[in-house]
Chains A and B, each alone.
Chain A
């Protein structure tokens, strides 16, 4: 089977869907690899490096005519026309938005796997290009911000004056948002992150960010993840929060995307006016219309003195690492599909089925929804299944009280007085014991058990009374009593000694 790597057709794209490294792996899987001339040159992978890895350098048309074509971006209809009948394609496709492409692929009786449709499950993470590219985009967003920001990110105190750390606000703590958070922290900035999902708090804090949220009971979190729409009160509160932070924030990085829909407007014109001149907004959603009012896709513009970065090719601006990660994701998917020998589109494989858009000319998109329990991290664990303590039924309580009363009444009426005295001592001692034990430190439960065990050797006293009373040491009660004394003293001495040994070991540090 021949794999073709045409040069990316999209203007400004520097990435490539294979690297010399992945080429080598693909050849090991039994493929022949044909790379179009200069396909990787913008990502610093010259043709010679591909040749060294075992690939043939071909022209663009030949690359498109291979059995399996690997691309980064969705191809154009014209490019699909160059594919051979019944060929296969792996690339980003965004099938929901690109009906024309699907039709062109169907017309070619092609098989196409959309990398953007791979489900976000743990097993498929090795093939998840959205995550690996999101990570890069988040990092690059910070680099772009620092490029357009007139100060340090980290704080400094010098003889020439001091500079406070930049305050960065990341909106949306997904993969890209978290990556941006980490990168900004790395440069020394103070980073705040906002997300509607309360579960994001932990991740934000784990990266050293401060989590911002809205003080409203309704959270953006349902068992499944995002809520589709937040209530008006929530959005108002969110906007108020942003306005509160806008005057002190130097850099805003917005990453809020809803798949297949226009990006929500979160950073409004009035917030831009509130910001200090020279502040920066990097809008990762520029391609989908932008989260910021004023964003122009693909450009840097100034509004009220604030630089708004609307680049849509942030990932492509780190072409080498982006190509390597992308190629590795693709290589993992091909390996999942069985390589050259075992090539098989397995509908049972959740990751493959998710990505499958067209199969031999048949439309397979969208993949059937798979019922899945919500991921455990989403819901606060304590609430998952902790069984409700059964409220004690009124009836049970009545029966309990009745039994209690009748037992005590029976004792009071029937038992001889000395029994009642002993019984009082017994009941009160139980209460004393009950109160005492709750105070015992958990770490001392084993010594507690050993000491109570030693104390329960008090049965020794019983043995003494039985033995001491007898006249003859051969009488049965005396012998039994003496054996009881023996056993009980083993218990008493052993119990106290072992407790002592244990307690002697507990010591405080330093």
Chain B
């Protein structure tokens, strides 16, 4: 039987001389325990900016410890292959991560998720082909279910992340793919996985490979369809959901391999992603099911709402007047949105901020929880540009100050400043908490085109009396303003 306290795989079939290794057998689980603690400290470190960098080092230490300890495990050999694979992976990883622009961060994160998914599928297949020791009865069935879960969740994560990457990278349209009967399709695919599981679990050991591949195939289609049917505006939720899936995959692999470290880490990551998704959904006042299965913004409800949209005329503000108003102001709040990321305007925004601060004008940023394409996306972009994080406020922190604000600049944001979320129960974004920019003295909306936001909703903010429009690419507009400010100094 298994040693009761040893969760890791200790194959009974290996030669006795390997078990008689020079390392005590408790060392590996203890190393795993320490690695697990380091991961917990790593995530805990992210609770504040001051400790975040240290948190990342904890994570690295945990990972190094886990890998080294595993390699020293008595049954592990073939170091050459492993070293080669890790070395090559590290080089590719460094190349990807060192070069990526901060605006492409969402794509990179999605792409990295797909690697975890694919790796989990491969480990699952490998484990099935070589379980390490023979299993019987309920153990065999449980092990089969563990493999199956690992492969299925891994495949969903893999293809889902690939689709998410393609959407975020602009290789696929951000529009949701809405097949007729898509809910039924999801159910059919799920049923197919369950159906395929029966012959797989009944097959003789090592002969169910075909069924396992079929399960992987069906799960891949499910992953593609699940993500393809979610619109671009919901990408923050999707990315964090995939993050969660990648954790659950690792946890399933942990069960499959009997490895507690994988289980701990997978559970940490899985619950982290799940909570992030739920925070995002709460910020949009929608249920997670609505996001995952909704095909949001393109259901019958949206066109119905647009029929009686409040229409009106918008008023543009000339550059000179805008500068006058900004220079007269004491309090300026900037609301960045995805448009700032697209236009790569964050550096121009930063120098604008510095200019105003130099003139004694108080500038702060108001960040909506779902601005951008990742949770916290705007914070990262502003940090990249060098904006100090202590003038970057969350929605709840700053909403109360907006009525006292002289000028609000909305840079490439739309749905997150839409007053109809509060006033129009028929609006698709009804009930979503929004930044109440219209309460300020003057709201200037920087907008690329004259279209609607991602949710497809007309924004009555644009027609308000105290709102002015400033059309153009976000970066061009900010640079024009910066140039004009220089002239006035």
Contacts and interface: CB of A to CB of B under 8 A. Distances in A.
Interface string B118-145: 1110110111011010000011001000
Interface residues of B, number: 135
A416 B142 contact: yes
Contacts of A460: 63, 66-67, 86, 119
A122 B63 CA distance: 62
A426 B55 CA distance: 22
Q: Which residue of A449, A460, A500, A501 has the most chain B CB atoms within 10 A of its CB atom?
A: A449
Q: Which residue of A431, A437, A509 has the most chain B CB atoms within 10 A of its CB atom?
A: A437
A488 B81 contact: no
B112 A490 contact: yes
A223 interface: no
Nearest to A462: B123
A494 interface: yes
B7 interface: yes
Given A384-B422, A459-B249, A464 B56 contact: no
B21 to A, nearest CB: 13
A476 B256 CA distance: 18
Contacts of A202: 403, 439
Interface stretch (B178-186, B295-303, B314-322, B380-388): B380-388
Given A445-B276, A452-B269, A456-B269, A464 B129 contact: no
A229 interface: no
B431 interface: yes
A493 B119 contact: no
A interface: dominant SS = helix
Contact of A421 (B7, B250, B376): B7
A441 B394 CA distance: 10
A454 B120 contact: no
B223 interface: no
A459 B2 CA distance: 23
B272 A433 contact: yes
Given A430-B267, A454-B63, A444 B49 contact: yes
B76 interface: yes
Nearest to B283: A442
Q: Which residue of A376, A478, A503 has the most chain B CB atoms within 10 A of its CB atom?
A: A503
A291 B99 CA distance: 73
Nearest to A384: B422
A456 B265 contact: yes
Given A455-B39, A508-B389, A440 B46 contact: yes
B78 A466 contact: no
Interface stretch (B88-96, B449-457, B473-481): B88-96
Interface in B404-439: 404, 419, 422-423, 425, 430-431, 436, 439
Contacts of A505: 102, 380, 383-384, 386
A434 B271 contact: yes
Interface stretch (B169-177, B227-235, B367-375): B367-375
Interface string A498-510: 1111111111111
Contacts of B258: 418, 422
A467 to B, nearest CB: 6
B341 to A, nearest CB: 12
B267 A433 contact: yes
B7 A490 contact: no
Interface string A204-235: 01100000000000000000000000000000
B261 interface: yes
A483 B257 CA distance: 17
B193 interface: no
Contacts of B261: 458, 461
A460 B250 CA distance: 9
B271 A430 contact: yes
A496 B63 contact: yes
B47 A439 contact: yes
Contacts of B119: 457, 459-460, 462-463, 483-485, 487-488, 491
A445 B270 contact: no
A385 interface: yes
Contacts of A339: none
A173 to B, nearest CB: 15
Contacts of A509: 388-391
A64 B36 CA distance: 93
B407 to A, nearest CB: 14
B347 interface: no
A125 to B, nearest CB: 7
Contacts of A160: none
B213 interface: no
Contacts of A504: 53
Contact of B376 (A123, A418, A445, A466): A445
B253 interface: yes
A104 to B, nearest CB: 38
Q: Which residue of B52, B118, B367 has the most chain A CB atoms within 10 A of its CB atom?
A: B52
B272 A452 contact: yes
Q: Which residue of B63, B126, B259, B389 has the most chain A CB atoms within 10 A of its CB atom?
A: B126
Contact of B403 (A205, A492, A496, A502): A205
Interface string B136-170: 00110010000000000000000000000000000
B124 to A, nearest CB: 9
Contacts of B93: 489-495, 497
B48 A386 contact: no
Contacts of A462: 119-120, 123, 127, 250, 253-254, 256-257, 259, 262
A434 B2 CA distance: 31
Nearest to A383: B422
Given A421-B7, A498-B100, A509-B391, A458 B66 contact: yes
B447 interface: no
Q: Which residue of A467, A475, A488, A509 has the most chain B CB atoms within 10 A of its CB atom?
A: A488
Interface string A403-439: 0000000000011111101100111011111101111
B272 A436 contact: yes
Contact of A447 (B52, B113, B268, B431): B52
Given A448-B272, A478-B81, A506-B52, A494 B108 contact: yes
B203 interface: no
A393 to B, nearest CB: 16
Given A421-B7, A459-B253, A491-B119, A442 B369 contact: yes
A399 interface: no
Interface string A172-193: 0000000000000000000000
B376 A464 contact: no
Given A381-B422, A492-B63, A417 B4 contact: yes
A452 B272 CA distance: 8
Contact of A494 (B46, B96, B123, B132): B96
B431 to A, nearest CB: 5
A469 B42 contact: no
Contacts of B468: none
A104 B312 CA distance: 39
Q: Which 8 A-B pairs have the closest CB atoms?
A: A489-B89, A509-B388, A468-B76, A493-B93, A445-B376, A433-B271, A429-B267, A494-B93
17 contacts: A415-B138, A436-B43, A442-B367, A446-B376, A449-B109, A449-B276, A451-B43, A454-B63, A455-B268, A456-B265, A459-B119, A463-B85, A468-B71, A470-B78, A485-B89, A497-B97, A502-B105
Given A425-B267, A465-B75, 14 more contacts: A381-B436, A418-B258, A433-B43, A443-B367, A443-B392, A449-B376, A461-B66, A462-B254, A463-B119, A469-B75, A482-B84, A494-B96, A503-B49, A506-B389
Interface of B: 2, 4, 7, 9, 11, 36, 39-40, 42-44, 46-49, 52-53, 55-56, 59-60, 62-63, 66-67, 70-71, 73, 75-82, 84-86, 88-90, 92-94, 96-98, 100, 102, 105, 108-109, 112-113, 115-116, 118-120, 122-123, 125-127, 129-130, 132, 138-139, 142, 239-240, 243, 246-247, 249-251, 253-273, 275-276, 279, 285, 312, 367, 369, 374-377, 379-380, 383-384, 386, 388-392, 394, 403-404, 419, 422-423, 425, 430-431, 436, 439, 441, 464-465
